[in-house]
Amino acid sequence: MSVRLTLDIPDSAFSLFRDDAARFAREMRIAAAVKWFELGKLSQSKAAELTEMSREEFLDTLHRYQVSPFQTAPGELAGELKDD
């Protein structure tokens, strides 16, 4: 099952992708998934599903956006290591 969303985007926004609405929509979906993953709102698997990518492709995309694939903050990791 899927939900169709309709967004009103100014024509000038498409200049980034040479007036290709489909490419713009895909890149917007990817950017949102990457950011939501970075904020801890989506897991890797859910973000991959949202972008219609495999998990491996999504991990490559995180690298392209310079976002860590790890969701544990350095302070949290230090705390976890202390508990062991």
Give the pLDDT of residue 21: 79
Kindly report the average pLDDT of the chain as a whole number. Answer: 85
Average confidence (pLDDT) over 69-80: 71
- The proportion of the chain whose per-residue pLDDT surpasses 90, expressed as a percent, equals 51
Q: How confident is the model at residue 68 (pLDDT cuts 50, 70, 90)?
A: very high
Among 68, 71, 64, 7, which Cα is nearest to 42's? 71
Q: What is the DSSP string of 30-48?
A: HHHHHHHHHTTSS-HHHHH
The residue ranking higher by pLDDT, 79 or 51, is: 51
